[in-house]
């Protein structure tokens, strides 16, 4: 069965490979994201992952498509990827010394069969000085990450603790995804593409 990851995220690609799925194509969704402003973060990530999966599935209906979307939320405010250095500084300042939630929506579909879910993980940031925030932004790592940090990179030094799925914070809830894949007849623990 042909498997497609509807994302160009190198982190999601690496996590799929860690799960044992080495024979898959990368075909990122290109469509414009459409959301109702009243959605909760959970609904938002699920809806975005569905949009991405359906876009690719319409082009390749026989393939198994995996799509995901991740956001960070604190005090009801959703933080996506920063659009500027200043926005990255503002996000990191907001997260400093606080607990926030990382939500990832994931959709798996093939033809008309579709499953969608989300994972929520609590992340506690240590108290950061303005100098630490600037130094981290200077690494450029925050610029393509929801919430302006990457826990799997140099951003690990910002995180005091995590409650929940670590891989969800990286961008793909692998335990949840493995269960979804099994319902499509794909066993991640089996050898794929070797």
Mean pLDDT of the chain: 93
How confident is the model over 106-144, as pLDDT tens digits?
A: 999 998 899 999 999 999 999 999 999 999 999 999 998
- Give the phi and the psi of residue 108 in degrees, each rounded to 5: -120, 130
Q: What is the pLDDT of residue 194?
A: 46
Domains of the chain: 3-183 (3.90.950.10)
pTM for the whole thing? 0.91
Token pair of 101 as six digits: 């939630």
How confident is the model over 30-72, as pLDDT tens digits?
A: 877 777 778 999 999 999 999 999 999 999 999 999 999 999 9
Neighbouring residues of 192: CB distance < 8 A, sequence distance ≥ 6: 20, 21, 22, 23, 186
Whether 75 is catalytic: no
Task: Write down the catalytic residue from 23, 69, 75, 165.
Answer: 69
């Amino acid at each position: 069965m042909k498997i497609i990851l509807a994302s160009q995220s190198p982190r999601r690609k690496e996590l799929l490979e860690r799960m044992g799925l080495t024979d898959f194509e990368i075909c990122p969704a290109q469509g414009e994201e459409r959301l109702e402003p009243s959605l909760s973060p959970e609904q938002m990530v699920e809806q975005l992952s569905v949009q991405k999966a359906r876009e690719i599935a319409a082009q390749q209906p026989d393939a198994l498509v995996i799509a995901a979307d991740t956001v960070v939320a604190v005090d009801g405010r959703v933080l996506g990827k920063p659009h500027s250095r200043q926005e990255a500084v503002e996000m990191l300042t907001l997260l400093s010394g606080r607990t926030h939630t990382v939500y990832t929506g994931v959709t798996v579909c093939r033809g008309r069969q579709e499953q969608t879910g989300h994972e929520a993980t609590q992340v506690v940031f240590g108290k950061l000085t303005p100098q630490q925030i600037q130094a981290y932004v200077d690494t450029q790592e925050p610029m393509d990450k929801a919430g302006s940090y990457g826990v799997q990179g140099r951003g690990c030094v910002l995180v005091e603790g995590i409650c929940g799925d670590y891989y969800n914070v990286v961008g793909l809830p692998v335990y949840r995804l493995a269960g979804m894949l099994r319902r499509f007849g794909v066993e991640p623990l089996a050898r794929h593409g070797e």
